[in-house]
Structure 1
Amino acid sequence: MSALTARGTVADENDGGAFGGLPWTVLRLHRTALLLWGAALLAAVGVLIWMHAIGDDASAGLSACAEPATDSLPSCSDVGAIHTDDTYAIGIGVVGTALSYLMFPVAAWAGAALIGRELESRTAELAWTQSVTPVRWLTAKLAVPAALLATGTSLIVLLNVWARRDDNPDLVGDWYHPDVLVSTGPAAVAYVLAGLTLGALAGLVTRKALPATGVAFAATLVLYNVLDRYRTSLWPADTVTGRAALHLPRSSQVLEHGAVTTTGKHIGNNLACVGFENATDIKDCMARSGLADFWATRHPASHFWPLQLMETGVLLAVAALATAAAFRLLRRRTP
């Protein structure tokens, strides 16, 4: 029965011209994953449209109120959006987190179901003995899900940016938080493509579904943590000196701050005199502490796109290398 099914699949793959019916075969073989992906997209679209609709009420919910009302503050009972800000923040946060971690299930699926299972059951080898070459087989296996994943993820990223409205950090988080940074730019798409290619490579290396799942998950976990650890190093940080280093805006991602002593020594993470607002108090504090100046390194909000694009570039390079390695390994293992 399995042989007949496999031959039927091969026959289908031979239909449709030069590229064959391979794309349609991939879609049919993985229709469950396709349906799940479609359902996830619909759910995310619905949530983000809802979040955009309640965005104004959520912003109003952050404003002060009084009970009873005063001349300057409205009645809290009249502010219908008093809890809408929590709903909005949770909704945006859930979608952002889902986008940030999407590469893990994609990699596991690619390693197990997309590649590993067919190699383990030998249906791929049967297809190769017909008119479907190994290169065409792997090309279709990667191209079809890559197109669907990239399109769907791009749509959700655009809707996520749209739903965030004015990017109020009290509602949607600061731009430099990992989930926020990843889910509001092309890095989200690059993460998914990296997960897909690493999963496919894991499937080709192990040739078994279950081990491929573990290897793919481990590889993407290492990649994610390395980028998370060194993200701030992907673009040169700005250095601020003087009093401005003590009062950096919230929109700045502070990496390190410190002071310079009267002897010229730089002390990192020195909090002396940070709490003073008055210039005279700051000078007195500096004199008592033996300090000559302050400094801080930070990423301002203007570094969002440089960091975003650098991370995207790294991920696409990983995806390209994993794809090249997968094809090279396939050629070595097949006639």
Structure 2
Amino acid sequence: MTAALTATTAPADRTPRGPRGLVWAVLRVHRIALIFWGLALAAATVLLIWLHAIGDEARKGNVPCSTPAHDGFAACASLESVTVDDVYAGWIELATSALTYAILPVAAWAGAALIGRELENGTARLAWTQSVTPARWLAAKLAVPAVLLATGTGAIVLLNNWARGDGAPDLVGDWYYTDVFVGTGPAAVAYVLAGLALGALAGLVWRRAVPAAGMGFAASLVLCVVMERFREDLWPKATRTATGVLEMPRSALVTHWDNEVTDGVRHITATYHPESHFWPIQYVETGILLAVAAAATLAAFRLLHRRLP
């Protein structure tokens, strides 16, 4: 009697391949940065929820007062919220500034750890020998952090706006202040994406972690300065003219005054951005930043292709 022999096949290769494998590889390699990003988002969330909770109390203290009370103004000593007012305004300013300048550490990290270090120590070329093309490697390197940065930054922007309540300028600053403008709109997300792309491009240019971090940081800083300098020119300005005295709307960004005296009469013309220009300027600036991010990304892929043997 012969025993039937059953053929056995070798188990299928379970090594993750394709986009999923690259995604998990990126997350594993940069898990420290991922943990830091998660902790930063958690801390910002807790802070903004707390600021929302004390916001009403802070706004109660944000009223005119005098010592002693007179002419209908309450005594300053009777306003229990004065201290809360200062605490609220200070922490709101800190949170908004962190959102505004998140581009700088993102660009430095992208240049150093995301790209520069892996080219410097040879792990990138090792990955290219494991059935991963250089283009797919770079695409995964950019796509994974881009999704995480965009999602996290967008969520914090929404929380920041929620914590700011009615946006009283005396508490949270006028809309045209750089920190307020960037940290309360979609431009914040576009800034970090531009920083990611600029940092990655710097990493491919220098191929060493430290110089790439410095150049990514510097390029992003230049971008911030240029956008701040030309922000008022991104949308047509309004004008207002009066004779004698000209009163401007609250929170108007006045860019130019023109005084002319004819026949003893003073004519005043102001060129300005009203608060209603916040969103048009936001959209234009966001579009420019996304174009910068796209151009830097395209340049990074072209440079990678040119430097391959």
TM-score of the alignment, normalized to the shorter chain, above 0.5: yes
Report the counterpart of residue 259 of structure 2 in structure 1: 259
Q: Please name the residue that 2:187 is paired with.
A: 187
2:105 aligned residue: 105
Alignment match, 1:207: 207
How many residue pairs were aligned? 296
Task: For 2:99, give the aligned amino acid.
Answer: L
SS at 2:18 equivalent: coil
1:320 aligns with 2:294: yes
Measured in 2, the distance between the counterparts of 1:257 and 1:67 equals 36
Query: Paired residue for 1:304?
Result: 278
Q: Specify every segment of 5 or more residues in structure 1 that has no aligned partner in the other structure, as ranges.
A: 1-13, 263-285
Secondary structure in 1 matching 2:240:
strand
Change beyond 3 A, Cα 1:17–1:123: closer
Shift of 1:66: 6.6
Matching of residue 217 in structure 1 with residue 217 in structure 2: yes
Aligned to 2:307: 333
Identity across the alignment (%): 60
The aligned counterpart of 1:37 is 37
Compared with structure 1, are the counterparts of its residues 110 and 308 closer, same or farther at alpha carbon in structure 2 (3 Å cutoff)?
Answer: same
Q: Distance in 1 between matches of 2:204 and 2:303?
A: 7
Letter in 1 for 2:234: L
Aligned position for 1:140: 140
Structure 1's consecutive aligned runs of 4 or more residues displaced over 6 angstroms after TM superposition are 66-71
Change (3 A) 1:71 1:101: closer
- Name which of structure 1's ranges 31-40 and 177-186 shifts more when overlaid on structure 2: 31-40
Residues in 1 aligned to 2:222 and 2:253: alpha-carbon distance in whole angstroms: 24
Quick one: distance in 1 between partners of 2:71 and 2:174?
33
Instruction: Out of 221-230 and 72-81, give the one that drifted further.
Output: 72-81
Give TM-score, length-normalised by structure 1: 0.84
CA distance 1:244–1:116, shift in 2 (3 Å): farther
- For the residues of structure 2 that align with 1:253 and 1:224, how far apart are their CA atoms? 19
2:243–2:266 Cα contact (<8 Å) kept: no
* Amino acid in structure 2 at the alignment position of 1:109: W
- Shift of the alpha carbon at 1:78? 5.0
- TM-score w.r.t. the length of structure 2 is 0.90
What is the CA distance between 1:130 and its match in structure 2? 2.1
Structural RMSD (CA): 2.0
Give 5+ residue unaligned stretches, structure 2: 1-13
Letter in 1 for 2:151: T
Show CA shifts across 1:196-217 (max 9, x none). 0000000000000011011111
1:81 equivalent to 2:55? Answer no
